Structure 1
Amino acid sequence: MEELLIVKSLNKLQAKSADLAEELNIRLTELYKWYNKQLNAISDDMVSILNDPSNKYKPAVDIKQLSSRETTDTYVRFPEEVVDIELSLQNLSVKDEVINIENSEYGTKSWPGFWLNAFLGCKTSSLWISEEDFDILYHLNDVRVDVHESNEIEESFEIVFHFTENKYFSNTKLWRKFNFIKDDVTSESSKIAWINYEIPESYQGFFRFFESKIDYDDLMMAMCIKDRIWRNPLKYVKRYQAKMDGETVESESDDEPEVENQVGSRYPFSWLF
């Protein structure tokens, strides 16, 4: 009888623990949405810099707000890499040759090929870039990630690539969305409206990413963009430039996204802990 009462009491405590976990998940989900909203604000500033270096740059996001955020009676520390993006952008000087170029044909007028270099600087995404892609990706103007609901039932996100007018296709943006429902993954993508341009049958480049069928490589590429490149593209641009200059670069071991730990996770911020 006494043993039964102990078990009953322990079960009550365990139930409280489960409730706390549920509350944590709700709060983290809201925090994750806030986090992505701030990243998009940083991306707005980045687009401004990459397209008009003469503009006086004024951050839309306060670094102090990115470093810590008040939630009820505690502070939650954010990853330093987010602050690094902001600091890196602030330290850019219009006197630097690399961002003192003006060409209307480029997607990023003040830093031609910025996003192409970012993709080439990351081990995972570089495998997706073919020679045929170079000229087209020079028209890539911006990359955005929209993260939707994230809980134990469903997690989904959409990657959007914005392009300037070019001779290859009429789309101003191309997108791909990934939906995670329990153990199933589905995907949707925009259709590329090619203009008098045919992809060779042997083509194995970047624009294969917009095929609706999904495989492991697609998912790895998507997670790489979402969790690595989009958060700090300058890191990968500088890495690629260092390689081209024959310099020793940092280890690329952190380029490989851990899909099983980040996609469909019960806790969207589990990678912080």
Structure 2
Amino acid sequence: MSTKATAKKQKVECEKDGISNGPDAQAQDAIEKIDELQNEIDRLNEQASEEILKVEQKYIRLRWPHFQKRSLLIEKIPNFWVTTFINHPQISALLDEDDEDALHYLTKVEVHEIDDLKAGYTISFHFAENEYFENDVISKEFHMNENGDPSSTSTPIRWKEGKDLTKRETQNNVKGKRKHEEPESFFSWFNDPGDAGADELGEVIKDDIWPNPLQYYLVPEGDLEDDEDDDEEIDDEEGLDDIDEDVEGDDDEDDVEGAEDED
């Protein structure tokens, strides 16, 4: 039941109970006026959303020529995109050596937002000729389906024989053991419609990498080494703590043994 309908219902109930004056009547009158004001606020919020959408669409169109010029310049930089992805903390965690090797052929990444921003966006990966697949462009589109729910569709990857990174398996050394699958490939993302409304990888590419990929390409090697050093220092500290505990434990045992000898 809407706020307005609830307010009317309360007013009718008050009139039935013979309450037409006094504090209760004043409160009821205030509720109805608040409800009218809230309806006006909601109307203004809807109007603001529509105007904000128009402004965003305007600046999407204004930014696009700059994105195109940027893409042309990026194509002159060897391994720009694979370096950018490797340097990104979230995406690098999804890459293994085979994925990185395939991404060395990635020449251009584009994020194209649909004019009706509510409808979705498309992420396109452009590749040079490579040993893994026949496609020169692989895309994933996020959109609303007929029911208004978020969904996604992807370009089928035409893998070359024996090169499908999404179906890798390895055989255990022990005879008779079953095969087990390797960790999922980065390229499995294109095959997985999943929950398009919560596609973190798509959102990272669209909202973090695409607006300014240069910040990740230019991550100094020292920063990455520092992170590794920090991890090593933490491990070293934990190791020292373990040693200290062992030493303290040994000292306690020596004290006990000494006391026994004195007795």
TM over 0.5, yes or no?
Answer: yes
Task: Give the alignment partner of residue 188 of structure 1, picking from 138, 141, 153.
Answer: 153
The answer for the alignment partner of 1:173 in structure 2 is: 137
Task: Give the alignment partner of residue 143 of structure 1, picking from 93, 98, 109.
Answer: 109
The answer for the alignment partner of 1:158 in structure 2 is: 122
Distance (whole Å) between structure 2 residues aligned to residue 13 and residue 164 of structure 1 = 59
Distance (whole Å) between structure 1 residues aligned to residue 43 and residue 221 of structure 2 = 49
Distance (whole Å) between structure 2 residues aligned to residue 138 and residue 30 of structure 1 = 38
Shift of residue 140, structure 1, vs aligned partner: 1.1
Distance (whole Å) between structure 2 residues aligned to residue 23 and residue 42 of structure 1 = 30
The answer for the alignment partner of 2:77 in structure 1 is: 111
TM-score (norm 1): 0.60
Letter in 1 for 2:70: M
The answer for the alignment partner of 1:236 in structure 2 is: 216
2:132 touches 2:160 (CA, 8 Å); kept in 1? yes
Bigger helix fraction: 2
Structure 1 residues 123 and 216, CA gap change in structure 2 (3 angstroms): farther
The answer for the alignment partner of 2:203 in structure 1 is: 223
Distance (whole Å) between structure 2 residues aligned to residue 136 and residue 217 of structure 1 = 28
Shift of residue 48, structure 1, vs aligned partner: 1.9
1:121 touches 1:240 (CA, 8 Å); kept in 2? no
The answer for the alignment partner of 2:44 in structure 1 is: 20
Task: Give the alignment partner of residue 189 of structure 2, picking from 209, 218, 233.
Answer: 209
Counterparts in 2 of 1:28-107, with a 5 A limit? 28-51=52-75
The answer for the alignment partner of 1:126 in structure 2 is: 92
Shift of residue 232, structure 1, vs aligned partner: 0.7
Shift of residue 247, structure 1, vs aligned partner: 5.5
Instruction: Tell me the SS of whatever aligns to 1:19.
Output: helix
How many pairs were matched up?
187
1:36 touches 1:146 (CA, 8 Å); kept in 2? no
Letter in 2 for 1:174: I
Instruction: Tell me the SS of whatever aligns to 1:33.
Output: helix
What are the superposed Cα offsets for residues 85-104 of structure 1, whole Å, 9 maximum, x if unpaired? xxxxxxxxxxxxxxxxxxxx
Shift of residue 120, structure 1, vs aligned partner: 1.3
Shift of residue 203, structure 1, vs aligned partner: 5.1
Pairwise CA RMSD: 2.8
Distance (whole Å) between structure 1 residues aligned to residue 34 and residue 125 of structure 2 = 52
Instruction: Tell me the SS of whatever aligns to 2:133.
Output: coil
Structure 1 residues 162 and 217, CA gap change in structure 2 (3 angstroms): same
Q: Which runs of 5+ in 1 are unaligned?
A: 52-109, 250-273
Shift of residue 215, structure 1, vs aligned partner: 5.0
Shift of residue 170, structure 1, vs aligned partner: 1.8
Distance (whole Å) between structure 1 residues aligned to residue 83 and residue 140 of structure 2 = 21
The answer for the alignment partner of 2:33 in structure 1 is: 9
**More relative contact order, 1 or 2 (CA 8 Å, 6+ apart):** 1
Shift of residue 168, structure 1, vs aligned partner: 2.2
What are the superposed Cα offsets for residues 142-164 of structure 1, whole Å, 9 maximum, x if unpaired? 1111223345xxx4222111122
Distance (whole Å) between structure 1 residues aligned to residue 207 and residue 72 of structure 2 = 22
2:151 touches 2:197 (CA, 8 Å); kept in 1? no
Letter in 2 for 1:118: T
Q: Percent identity?
A: 25
Instruction: Tell me the SS of whatever aligns to 2:30.
Output: helix
